[in-house]
Amino acid sequence: MEANAAKRKEPRKALRVKVISMGDAEVGKSCIIKRYCEKRFVSKYLATIGIDYGVTKVQIRDREIKVNIFDMAGHPFFYEVRNEFYKDTQGVILVYDVGSKESFDSLDSWLAEMKQELGPHGNMENVVFVVCANKTFYSAIVDLCDNGGKRPPGSSGIGFTREQADAIRRIRNSKDSWDTLGVKPGASREEVTRAYRRLAVLLHPDKCAAPGSEDAFKAVVGARTALLKNIK
C-alpha cells in the first residue's frame, strides 16, 4: 500500500512535443521562436543556417509540456538539411510576411515538401498546423503616429512620422528598384539621385525609429546602386 502511494506521488515526466516552423526566407520565423522561447525580440535579420532550435516549457493542468521547436531555414539551399527534420513532427507553424503575397502563396509548396519527405506512409492528419501572419507592425506605427510620432511618456529614443511609416510600408511592397525609389522606369540619373537623397534622409536609422527603417534604408541604397549602374 505504501509503495503504491509513493508511486502515485512521484511527479510525472514532462511530455515532449516536436514543432517545426516553415516558410520562405526572411518572413520572421526565427524572431517568432526567439520571442516565444527566450522572451526577447531580435530586430536585425540573421539568416538561419540549416536548422535553429528553441525550447520552452508550458504547464497544462498538472502536466508539464516541453515544447521543442525546430526553426527550418527558408532558403532552398538548405533543403538537404531540413528534410531530415519532418519525421515525428506533431505541430507546424506556417509563417508568412503580411507584406509579401508571394510568401503566403508559397505555403502550399511548403506543405507539399513536407508531404513528400514523409513519404507514402507518412500521416499528416494528426499534425496540428497553425498559420502565422508575421510583421504586422503597421497598426502599432499608426498608433504612435497619432501621438505625434512620439514614443509613450517615460520611454526613451527618437520617434517617427506618418510619412516615414508610409514610406517603409510602400518600400516593403515595391516590385523593383524603380518602385523602391518611387520614380518612373527610364528616369534620369538626376531624378534617381534626388529620389534617393529624399528617402535616405527620411529613413536613415539614426533619424527614424519606425520598425523596419533599417531594412527600408538598405533597400533604398541598393535600388540606387542598381539603377545608376544602367543609367548613362
Alpha helices in the chain (DSSP H): 2-9, 29-38, 79-82, 101-105, 107-118, 138-145, 162-172, 177-181, 189-203, 213-230
If pLDDT is split at 50, 70 and 90, which confidence band does 36 have?
confident
- CB-based contacts of 92: which residues, under 8 Å, 6+ apart? 19, 20, 21, 22, 114, 127, 128, 129, 130
- CB-based contacts of 75: which residues, under 8 Å, 6+ apart? 25, 47
Query: Domain 138-230, what fold?
Result: Helix Hairpins (1.10.287)
Res 127 pLDDT > 80: yes
Residue range(s) in the chain whose domain bears CATH number 1.10.287.110: 138-230
| Architecture category of domain 2-134 in CATH | 3-Layer(aba) Sandwich (3.40)
How far is residue 150's CA from residue 165's CA, in Å, rounded to a whole number? 13
Residue range(s) in the chain whose domain bears CATH number 3.40.50.300: 2-134
Q: Tens digit of pLDDT for each residue in 192-223? A: 889 998 998 888 877 777 778 888 888 998 89
Res 128 pLDDT > 60: yes
